Amino acid sequence: MHVVYPVVVSALLFSIGVYGVLARRNAILVLMSVELMLNAVNLNLVAFDVWLGDRLHGGQVLTLFVSVIAAAEVGLGLAIVLAVFRTRRTVDVDRLRALAEVPPASGPGSERPAGSAVQPADGEGAP
Amino acid sequence: MTAVTALIILFPFAAAAAGLLATRLGLRDPRPRDARVRDLETGTERAVYRRAAWFAIAPGAVSAALTVWLAVSLAAGTGVSGGRFWSELFPGRAEGTLTPVETGSVPISLTLRADGLSVLAGILVVVVALAVQVYSVGYMRDEPRYPSYSAFVSLFTSAMLLVVYAGDLIVLYVGWEIMGLCSYLLIGHWWEDRANSRAAVKAFLVTRLGDVGFLFGIFTLGMAAGSFRIDDVLRADIPRGVLIAATLLLLAGVAGKSAQVPLQTWLPDAMAGPTPISALIHAATMVAAGIFVVARLYPAFLAAPPTLDVLGVVAAVGMLGAALAALAQDDLKRVLAYSTISQLAYMAAALAAGSDRAAMFHLVSHGAFKALLFLCAGLVIHHVGSNLISHMGGLRTALPVTFWTMTIGFAALAGLPPASGFFSKDAVISAIEHGAGPAQPFVYASALLTVGVTGAYAARAWLRTFFGPARIEPLAEPPPGVAHVFDGREAPPSMLWPAGVLAVPALLLGLAGVAAGAEVEWGAAVVGFAVALLGAGVVYALWRAAPEQDPARLLGPFRVPCERAFHVDAAYAALVARPVLRLARGVVRTDARVVDGAVRGSGRAALGLSGLVRLAQNGNAQLYVTGLLAGLVLIAVAAVVLT
């Protein structure tokens, strides 16, 4: 099998993953898109390992590592999503705006530290 | 001998350092500060006061003794005779350089020089300073800040001696500036009263104005001569134009320090300081420093006749104007202040006429009798509790010692024989009479008129203070910081003795001068004496007619302008002070509107722009990642395209 086929497939997979991360609104789906990207990488690793005929099969070993890390990452990610859901009752990433800076309350000069801008409820801090 | 000269200067300096640093050493008072101030009679504060008095007087006495020794050894010496007048009196001469200071261009040398002129002025300084220190012990008895006061007086003495013994123009300038500083500090001694600190600032600023010219004059001379040493400067062959420019610049400093027209306005206001300060700084020594410097650099001035003409005109205007102003003042100290300006103008006129001998003679005798007059005025003020002549009167019986000493002082001031002023003023007037220059007739006329006016104001102050009905009323409560309490007795002996001691030179210095070789020109003497008697007689007649009224009424419609010193202060306020203030306010406004506006505006602009940028930071992590990816793509594309 020519190496082009797996590479094209992995490129497609990666693109789908990127699209998912950037565009999906559900946090679970965002996590799954991340998995897609990781798996595209895995596919690349395996394909090139075979194509290059690496005697130590470094690509396959690396794939194992990536799979393990992906598993751990999904565990963490799901835990975060659960925690977010418990506090916000939603996992819609468009409505999780805690990172936004609160616009100054009264004119210039009344600055507040960035860390204090915790949103009391979802979506209220969106500009 | 240079070591002795250095010691003479260093003793008062050490006294100042000790007075400022060590008066409270080991005498800590645990009580709170206000309790200490109230408890001046006993305890720690008294010990501090006594120690400060010792610090003030003992080094001054040592310095005086050393000066006398120096004078004796110079009188016995046979050094080079420079051809100037003092070489007859003190033929010896000592000059030593402690250390040269390389500056990269014209070197400065820490040179001290003791010759007849220095010793003449030096004796005056140490004697008056010692008298004033002793006097201050009594006068400032209830003054909580006495230690710093006496330390500043010591510092002043040291600086004045540095000026007197300086052999290098820069060294002289250092002493000159320290004197100005001490004058400022001591005028403002009672700074609780706003008027006093304003007077101090005024004195400082006005003299500083002249000092700028003085410094540049020194630079001009030093650059032209290639050295700041006075000997080198006087020996150097300086082009005439440069010399005229340099001496005119020096003259600005002389006018500032010696309170000559047009910088005379600070001296009457300087009377806000304690009276002993007026005696020491603003009558006998510092204000005479300007005259001394001209005498010191006299060959340079002689080679620049236009400068001497300017000096003569300035002196002629100053002496008559100040004497008329003195005639109309009601404040005893201001009478004496204007009289000081007038007498200093005499010295300046003598210098302009070409006789530094007469100028120095009058400087020394004026130092003695004017210091005496101020000390006596202090006694009178201490007794009466007021500066105003209209509050005095009939004090002859209450204050017999003061009466006699002050009578000697006034006689010397008016130029009545045999007091010192008669001889020195005669020397000055005959010098002016024989002077040359286009302004000579004007100066001579002004000098003769001033002799009459001097007699008049001296007689007026004398009569109004000591004769006539007593007008003393005990004051209700002295203002804070003022040691004026009426107690109906003569002042303590520590104040009477200095006045009594100073009365001796005020009376006999003229005779001593004649014995030392000053000729009396009897023609000029008789004319001066007659004019002075005439002035005094007119005032006496007026006073005799109505002892209750002020003889200043003889000025008629000119009385108010004279009392206000011809509105010079108002004119300066209108011409200089107010425009400067307006300019300053404009600068403040520019600073607030333009400079601050630019800073604040740039801040506001940055905030507005950052508001635009902040729109991107909306909290949506996906947007951030999109931006990240876009950037990455851009970099990748750029890498591909550009390589």
pLDDT band of residue A116 (cuts 50, 70, 90) is very low
Q: Do B621 and A93 touch (CB under 8 A)?
A: yes
Mutate to test the interface with B, among A33, A84, A94, A111 (most CBs of B within 10 A): A94
In the prediction, which pLDDT does B597 show?
A: 92
* HSE (side-chain half, CA atoms, 13 Å) at B310: 19
Sign, CA torsion B228/B234/B239/B245: positive
Alpha-carbon span B327 to B336, nearest angstrom = 10
Token pair in block for residue B553: 């009424």
pTM for this one? 0.78
> In this predicted structure, what is the pLDDT of residue A112?
46
CA distances from B123 to B28, B63, B129, B303, B608 (A): 38, 10, 10, 29, 75
Tokens 């010591």 belong to residue: B154
Q: Do A100 and B618 lie within an 8 Å CB cutoff?
A: yes
Q: What's the pLDDT at A82?
A: 94
Chain B residue numbers with beta carbons less than 8 Å from the beta carbon of A126 are 618-619
Q: Are A117 and A102 in contact (CB under 8 A)?
A: yes
The 3-state DSSP class for residue B94 equals: strand
User: What pLDDT was estimated at residue A113?
Assistant: 46
- State the nearest Cα–Cα gap between A76 and chain B, in angstroms: 18
Q: Residues B382, B388, B393, CA angle at the centre, nearest 5°?
A: 80
Out of B604, B617, B621, whose CB is closest to A108?
B604
Amino acid occupying residue B173: Y
pLDDT under 50 in chain B at which residues?
A: 476, 484-486
A29 and chain B in contact, CB less than 8 A: no
**Residue among A22, A125, A127 whose CB faces B615 most closely:** A127
Phi-psi region of B207 (alpha: psi -120 to 50; beta: other; left: phi over 0): alpha
| A64 contact partners, CB below 8 Å, separation of at least 6 | none
pLDDT band at A106 (very low <50, low <70, confident <90, very high): low
Block residue for tokens 């008072």: B29
Give the nearest partner residue to A22 out of B617, B618, B626, using CB atoms: B626
Q: Find residue B112's DSSP bridge partners.
A: B96, B166
Sign of CA dihedral B548, B554, B559, B562: negative
Name the token pair of B537.
């007689």
Measured between alpha carbons, how far apart are the two ends of chain B, in Å? 88
- Taking the C-alpha atoms of residue B224 and residue B591, their distance in angstroms, rounded to an integer, is 42
For B288-307, how does the pLDDT look when each residue is reduced to its tens digit (9 = 90+)?
Answer: 999 999 999 999 999 999 99
Summarised one tens digit per residue, pLDDT across range B432-451 is 988 888 888 999 999 999 99
Chain centroid to CA B559: 27
Dihedral pair phi/psi, residue B321, rounded to 5°: -60, -45
Burial class (CB in 10 A: 0-12, 13-18, 19+), A121: exposed
Q: How confident is the model at residue A125 (pLDDT cuts 50, 70, 90)?
A: very low
Strand partners, B111: B97
Q: B559-569: string of b/e by CB count within 10 Å (b at 16+)? A: beebbebeeeb
How many residues can be counted in chain A? 127
pLDDT of A43 over the 80 cut: yes
B249's CB contacts (< 8 A; 6+ apart) are: B213, B214, B216, B217, B220
Encoding tokens for residue B202?
């005024």
Residues of B with Cβ-Cβ distance to A30 under 8 angstroms: 622
Contacts of B443 (CB under 8 A, 6+ apart): B312, B313, B315, B316, B349, B352, B353, B432, B435
What are the chain B neighbours of A97 within 8 Å (beta carbons)? 618-620
pLDDT of residue B493: 85
Q: Please check whether residue B229 is in contact with residue B167, taking contact to mean a CB–CB distance below 8 angstroms.
A: yes
- Taking one residue from A and the other from B, the number of pairs with CB-CB distance under 8 angstroms is 42
User: Shortest CA distance to A100 belongs to which of B214, B81, B617?
Assistant: B617
SS3 A127: coil
Neighbours of B632 (CB within 10 A): 10
ipTM: 0.74
pLDDT of residue A122: 45
Torsion angles phi and psi, residue B229, rounded to 5: -65, 135
- Kindly give the interhelix angle for B356-384 and B286-296, rounded to the nearest 10 degrees: 180
B127-162 residue pLDDT tens? 999 999 999 988 888 788 889 999 999 999 999 999
pLDDT in tens, B505-532: 888 888 888 887 777 888 888 998 999 9
What is d(CA A23, CA B247) in angstroms, rounded to the nearest whole number?
89
Given this model, what pLDDT does residue B86 score?
73
Q: Which two tokens stand for residue B106?
A: 């014209």
Nearest to B2 by CA among B167, B116, B204, B217: B167
Strand partners, B113: B95
Per-residue DSSP letter, A118: -
| Residue pair B364/B518 in contact by the 8 Å Cβ criterion | no
Other beta carbons less than 10 A from residue B87's beta carbon: 17
* Closest chain A residue by Cα to residue B614: A101
Q: Which residues contact B206 (CB under 8 A, 6 or more apart)?
A: B256, B263, B265, B266
Show Cβ contacts of residue B596 under 8 Å, excluding neighbours closer than 6 positions.
Answer: none
Q: Give every CB contact of residue B603 below 8 A, 6+ residues apart in sequence.
A: A108
Q: Which of B354, B283, B265, B282 is nearest to B312 (CA)?
A: B354
